[in-house]
Chain A
Amino acid sequence: MTQGAAPAVARHHHRAGGAPPPEPSRPTAAKARPRRWKPLLFCAPFIVLFAATYVAPISYAAGSSLFTLHRSGLGLTAPSEVFDPLGNYDRAIHDGGFTASLGRIALFGVVQVPLMLVLALVLALLIDSRSTRGRSFFRLSSFLPYAIPGVSAALVWSFMYSSQSSPINRLLEPLGVAIPFFDHDVVLWSVANVVTWSWAGYNMIIIYAALQAIPAELLEAARMDGASAFRIAWSIKIPAVRGALVLTAVFSLIGSAQLFNEPAVLQPVSDGSVSSSFTPIMSAQSALAAGNYHYAAAQSVLLAVLVGAVSFVFFRLTNRGEQG
């Protein structure tokens, strides 16, 4: 069993789209014949650009977030910048729109991620099932949406959801059902559906790869013992892909935190149910649009720190789990 799980994790570790493993970095050999500093020249272009586009902007934003704008009594003079290290952060914590957006993506993550992964797991098990014909067709059809950019996927779904001409509601018409995709209580799940459509197949491929790594003899032996397909799936296959599931979950949760493309594309056609502070990034963007750079900077820094801390904790936990 543990042997089955190990390759699954190994495979999963190297998934794409922002999903690396916290693998300890060990020199693979080639004991330094060249001068010790020379390899840094290889890394120089990356290091310089990384500093310029990751380190510098986040430092700049962190610095900027320490200032607030102060308007004099009547607002006759230009507002002045005042050093007020906690001012913007204090404001963010008490900003109903911003905290609501954090709550919204937390809810999104807690509901959408498990649903998507259950769908991905069931698909992987079905495609892996011995009853299946046309494996490659089904594998490809669920993976195909991944090839569609998030914005294009959201555009296509905005047509699917359109209140006047939704083809989905036209199909449901004989049943007397019409889904109000842009209702205030529904719209978050309409967004979740777009994300699920885009990523379920991608996660399925990773889980499927882990399933393929289960030794055939093990499955054959279980079958000889008379275990049913369900029993084999539940007691052998699912435990074997546990590592893959944990890691896809962590990366999908990180993905939820940066939710932007789908709600931003749906916003103009949503009849106002997608607000301008629907997600934390949209909230920071509207602070920016209102001209409050310092406040936007504080929101961005808060979000980056939150995501960084959450993924760090998750990786610590999951790593310990795998090694133990």
Chain B
Amino acid sequence: MMAVTAEKPLIRSRRDTSPASRGTVMALLGLSAFYFLFPLWWLLVSATKPFGEQFSGTGLWFDGWGLFDNIARLSSQDGGIFWRWMLNSVLYCGVGALLGTAFSALTGYALAKYDFPGRGALFGVVLAAVLVPKVLFTLPLYLMFSEVHLIDNPLAVLLPSVVSPFGVYLSRVFAAQSVPDEVLEAGRLDGAGEFRIFGTIGVRMMLPALVTIFLFQFVEIWNNYLLPVMVLGDDRLQPVTVGLAGWNASHVAVPPPLVVVGSLVSVVPLLIAFLALQRFWRAGMTAGAVK
């Protein structure tokens, strides 16, 4: 050991901690990892158990195999409405985030690259809106939508979802960072119009940032539970979060094991996307640090 550490100072500098300190730190971190992972692990293990066994035991380890049978039962409950809910979620989030990213990109780019009347006021309003969470506007939205008969209409979820003050904010930061003024100037000298310059040069340079904005907005829409609960009464229009919470609330009518399996099936795509796109998440959380 000594010989190795003497030869490789780099390794030495990592190993110069005492075993006691290593033991304490690793024990504490192990405990925290158990806390964070246990509910998800339980969900995975329970969903694979034979139907009806979901709530037996501690759920620490697998016990029998019924995952595919469980998914089949989930798919046939209430005429297969679960998959309809999944499709609704993907549509609301996909369309909402796509349009929202486009509008945010346009606005953020204009805020970063142009000087125009009302520019400061607009940015001030955007910042203020990020500080007052969207959820607080949901009941007023419901009141207004019921006045204009927009309840039970997918637009009642889509319209508010498209607006993302945080997306505008991020887009302004990213546009200021990644689109040099000289490039825009060169485009102008070539006689390109402003929209053309944005569409060809701006969008291309902001593309990684736009992926980040899209992700944040997708998840924000998926997470918004109050809005669809309020404005969508029709079962077949609801996103999967509302549907599953409804099943959980009526646990006599719908067997609780189905809620377990449905919860797993509905978070797996999110987890995969999250793990695959990690670097875009971090880009959003530390945006601006790059300078």
Contacts and interface: CB of A to CB of B under 8 A. Distances in A.
B36 A144 contact: yes
B133 A254 contact: yes
A33 B188 contact: yes
B10 to A, nearest CB: 13
Contacts of B244: 151-152, 155
Interface stretch (A83-91, A182-190, A262-270): A262-270
Interface string A56-70: 111011001000000
Contact of B131 (A58, A303, A315): A315
Interface string A245-282: 00000000011011011001101110000000000010
A304 interface: yes
A62 B127 CA distance: 22
B29 interface: yes
Given A58-B140, A149-B267, A36 B39 contact: no
A311 B128 CA distance: 9
Contact of A229 (B21, B122, B162, B263): B21
Given A60-B144, A229-B21, A46 B104 contact: yes
Contacts of A53: 137, 141, 159-160, 163
Main DSSP-derived SS at the B contact region = helix
B139 A288 contact: yes
A195 interface: no
Given A20-B166, A129-B25, A254-B133, A293 B143 contact: yes
Given A144-B36, A229-B21, A254-B131, A43 B122 contact: yes
A14 B270 CA distance: 23
B116 A144 contact: no
Contacts of A27: 114-115, 119
Contacts of A312: 131
Interface string B141-164: 111100100000000000110110
Contact of B282 (A42, A131, A205): A205
Given A25-B123, A130-B17, A296-B143, A19 B130 contact: yes
Contact of B286 (A58, A209, A285): A209
Interface residues of B, number: 120
Interface stretch (B1-9, B69-77, B78-86, B220-228): B220-228
B267 A148 contact: yes
Given A25-B111, A46-B104, A155-B244, A60 B287 contact: no
Given A18-B130, A42-B109, A32 B115 contact: yes
A38 B194 contact: yes
Nearest to A45: B103
B117 to A, nearest CB: 7
A25 B119 contact: yes
A170 B113 contact: no
B43 interface: yes
B107 A160 contact: no
B110 A39 contact: yes
Interface string B241-267: 110110011110000100110010011
A284 interface: yes
A269 B251 contact: yes
B124 interface: yes
B147 A127 contact: no
B181 A29 contact: yes
Nearest to A15: B285
26 contacts: A14-B288, A16-B166, A19-B166, A20-B130, A28-B176, A30-B115, A30-B185, A31-B115, A34-B114, A42-B109, A42-B114, A42-B198, A43-B110, A49-B159, A50-B125, A50-B129, A61-B144, A126-B29, A132-B25, A151-B241, A151-B245, A261-B226, A264-B245, A285-B226, A303-B136, A311-B131
Interface of B: 14, 16-17, 21-22, 24-26, 28-29, 32-33, 35-37, 39-40, 42-43, 46, 55-60, 102-104, 106-107, 109-120, 122-125, 127-144, 147, 159-160, 162-163, 165-166, 168-170, 173, 176, 181, 184-185, 188, 194-195, 198, 216, 219-220, 222-223, 225-226, 229-230, 241-242, 244-245, 248-251, 256, 259-260, 263, 266-267, 270-271, 274-275, 278, 281-282, 284-289
Given A46-B107, A156-B40, 11 more contacts: A16-B216, A29-B181, A36-B117, A38-B194, A43-B106, A131-B25, A151-B223, A155-B245, A160-B39, A205-B282, A209-B286
Q: Which 8 interchain pairs have the tightest Cβ spacing? A: A61-B140, A165-B55, A147-B274, A42-B110, A39-B114, A57-B140, A268-B249, A14-B288
